[in-house]
Amino acid sequence: MQQQTAIDGRRARGDASRRTVLAQAVDLASVEGLDQLSIARIAEAAGVGKSSVATLFGGKERLQLATVETASARFAATVIAPARVHPRGVRRLVALLDRVVAYSQDRVFPGGCFFSAAAADFHAKPGQVRDAVAAQLDDWLGYLALTARFAAERGELPGLDPAGDEPEQLAFEIQGTFELMNLLAVIRDDELPYLRARRAYRARLLALGVPAELAERVLEPGAALR
């Protein structure tokens, strides 16, 4: 019994250390780049020994993969989970647009969007890390398209054909706007790109037949969730 208690205690401490290191890792990678993340660099940033980080992750690639997974969970908690207070359909889509702008603007990651930075780092470097980043982006685009398709099927997006490729095209356009917004806002340290993105999202919703009262909610941060 005492032996099991000791094992459980070590496991709990190891899990706590892993969470602490990964919290530092995602923030650091968003600023310095995921490709620059190493056992030595994260040990320095987290104030722990290199041997401790090596014991937890084994090597650089495993550390990077765990960092992507942690960033994915933070993104989901910040963007997707709050939007799910609304039923599936156009109100959830509006909430997703609101939250994804706020995600960059609120600096959920210090360097802006973790995945935009990671994709720039790894887009031409085949391997497990690039695959993990690409999978996260595909999941997000797929979720946007699925949400839009469901809304269209319910008649909430009369300007969108749910039977064809239009939901995927809309997701592509949403993400394209987001990427430029995030890039300009971070590199210029400027708030205007956030307003421009919200205006672009409102215009797209209006063009698809979303009632003005609902589309306008994208312009006010947090309004879509109230």
The string of DSSP codes covering 144-191 is HHHHHHHHHHTTS-TTS-TTSSHHHHHHHHHHHHHHHHHHHHHHHT-S
Q: Is residue 68 in a domain?
A: yes
pLDDT at 5 over 70: no
* Distance of alpha carbon 34 from alpha carbon 141, whole angstroms: 21
Indicate which CATH number applies to the domain containing 67. Answer: 1.10.357.10
Mean pLDDT of 26-37: 94
Q: Which of 19-28, 167-176, 190-199 has the lowest mean pLDDT?
A: 19-28
Mean pLDDT of 164-189: 98
Q: Is residue 37 in a domain?
A: no
**Which run of H or of E encompasses 125?**
none
Amino acid at 124: A
Continuous H helices in the chain: 2-32, 39-46, 50-57, 60-75, 81-83, 90-105, 114-122, 128-153, 166-188, 192-207, 212-215
Return all residues near 186 (Cβ < 8 A) that are at least 6 apart: 104, 111, 112
pLDDT at 6 over 90: no
Asked whether the whole model's pTM tops 0.85, one would answer yes
pLDDT at 94 over 60: yes
Which of 220, 180, 179 has the alpha carbon at shortest distance from 199? 220
For the chain, what is the largest distance between any 2 Cα atoms, rounded to a whole number of angstroms? 66
Structural domain containing residue 150 = 61-225
CA 103, 109, 115, 117 dihedral sign is positive
| Coil, helix or strand at residue 221 | coil
Return all residues near 100 (Cβ < 8 A) that are at least 6 apart: 79, 174, 178
Q: Is residue 56 in a domain?
A: no
Q: Which of 37-41, 96-100, 117-121, 161-165 has the lowest mean pLDDT?
A: 37-41
pLDDT at 91 over 70: yes
Q: Is residue 4 in a domain?
A: no
Say how many domains are in the chain. Answer: 1
Share of the chain above pLDDT 90, in %: 81
* Distance of alpha carbon 114 from alpha carbon 8, whole angstroms: 33
Chain position carrying tokens 């923030």: 27
Q: Is residue 95 in a domain?
A: yes
Q: Is residue 36 in a domain?
A: no
* Distance of alpha carbon 41 from alpha carbon 27, whole angstroms: 12
Q: Is residue 211 in a domain?
A: yes
pLDDT in tens, 52-74: 889 999 889 999 999 999 999 99
* Distance of alpha carbon 61 from alpha carbon 56, whole angstroms: 12
Residue 64 has which token pair?
A: 């990077």
**Residue 174: CA atoms inside 13 Å, Cβ hemisphere, count?**
28
pLDDT at 14 over 80: no
pLDDT in tens, 158-172: 999 999 999 999 999
Q: Is residue 204 in a domain?
A: yes
